Amino acid sequence: MENIILIGHGSPKKDANNIEIVGRLLHNALHPCCDKDCVKVSYLQFAKPELPDAIKDCADKGAKRIIIHPYFLSSGMHVTHDIPEMIREAKAAYPAIEFVYTEPLGIHNKLVNVVIERIKAAQGFKPMEIEDRSFEILTNEADLSAVPAEQLPVVQRVIHATADFEFKNTLIFHPDAVRTGLDAIRDGKDILTDVEMVKTGIIKRWLEPFGGKVICNISDEDVIRASEATGKTRAEIAMEKALSGDHNIGIIAIGNAPTALLKVIEIFNSKPEISNLKSQILVVGVPVGFVKAFESKTLLAKQDFPFITNLSRKGGTPTAVAIVNALLKTAG
């Protein structure tokens, strides 16, 4: 068993003793999904535990190797004398344990990047500068070179909205998806959403110049009454209502309700008046959750009409909104 101990100086100011956060981040980076206490923290003074106590805890729990990292910027007396002396005492007390002592943070080119970020943050960013910087960071951290050019704005905005790079691999596009969505926007078609949160998140000023509007029927009184009478979800009844009475819909954005997505697929494949139009409508189906969410998206991925989905449990309002807004921005 191997343990890592981060050791910081410690401060009389209690809220400054926060390298536990660094310890958790390091643990998640090195051992994702691990529930063991592999990475520990300690302090030289003013805070607990101190390094000898952290070493003893590791030894008591069966550690065979202990890596000690001085969370210091430079090699001062603490790094070159005090901590090595504690380690020498620990080696004498626990001869069966291998001890590894690393260099401090020291001079490293990546620290320069941190300083640059701190300088920029102190100067403040305008809203567009924040977005541009965010896209720059995600582009540097994720290899998106394999993403087709027409899909790239969508993938980037979804990652930007969720801070989740997994979408790079799980987003699925019908071959005609992006073209259909852009055509719908530029032709003044409307966008139908499953819930009000998705409607709220779509940037209306990007849509309005084309003449379209965003529709959500889930809170309509007749939809609520029908749901109570039939036991169906309001989301699926709202889809039925919209698709039976309004054929100016060009994009359907579903971020929360799997039942809404299943109902759309059913309608597209069973009602002739919609079946004839389905090749002109983009279905963005990314409901989130554990019940029917993945199943509904898997079914969508098998359809022959234009769609964008993601094959995982993840999704939700931020994902659906990001996809639509990426299309709106591209259309503009």
Q: Give me the residue spans of the domains in the chain.
A: 2-101, 110-141, 148-331
Q: Tell me, what's the pLDDT at 135?
A: 67
pLDDT < 70 regions, the chain? 121, 123-138, 140-141, 246
Q: Tell me, what's the pLDDT at 227?
A: 93
Q: Which residues are catalytic?
A: 160
Query: In this structure, what is the dihedral angle of CA atoms 324, 182, 203, 214, given to the nearest 10 degrees?
Result: -80
Instruction: Give ∠ CA 321-323-329 in degrees, rounded to 5.
Output: 95
Q: Tell me, what's the pLDDT at 251?
A: 97
Q: What is the CATH number of domain 2-101?
A: 3.40.50.1400
Residues 6+ apart with CB under 8 A from 259: 232, 233, 235, 236, 292
For residue 270, the tally of other CB atoms under 10 A from its CB is 9
* Cβ pair 201, 321 in contact under 8 A: yes
Omega cis (within 30) before 209 = no
Nearest to 237 by CA among 227, 250, 228: 227
Q: What is the pLDDT of residues 72-129, one digit of tens each?
A: 998 899 999 999 999 999 999 999 999 999 999 988 878 887 887 777 767 665 655 6
Q: What is the CATH number of domain 148-331?
A: 3.40.50.10230
- For residue 287, the number of C-alpha atoms closer than 13 Å in the C-beta half-sphere is 28
Burial of 312 (0-12, 13-18, 19+ CB in 10 A): middle
Same fold, 2-101 and 148-331: yes
Q: Which residues pair with 40 in a beta bridge?
A: 5
Rounded Cα distance between 40 and 80, Å, is: 21
Q: With H, G, I as helix, E, B as strand and everything else as coil, classify residue 17.
A: coil
Q: Tell me, what's the pLDDT at 15?
A: 82
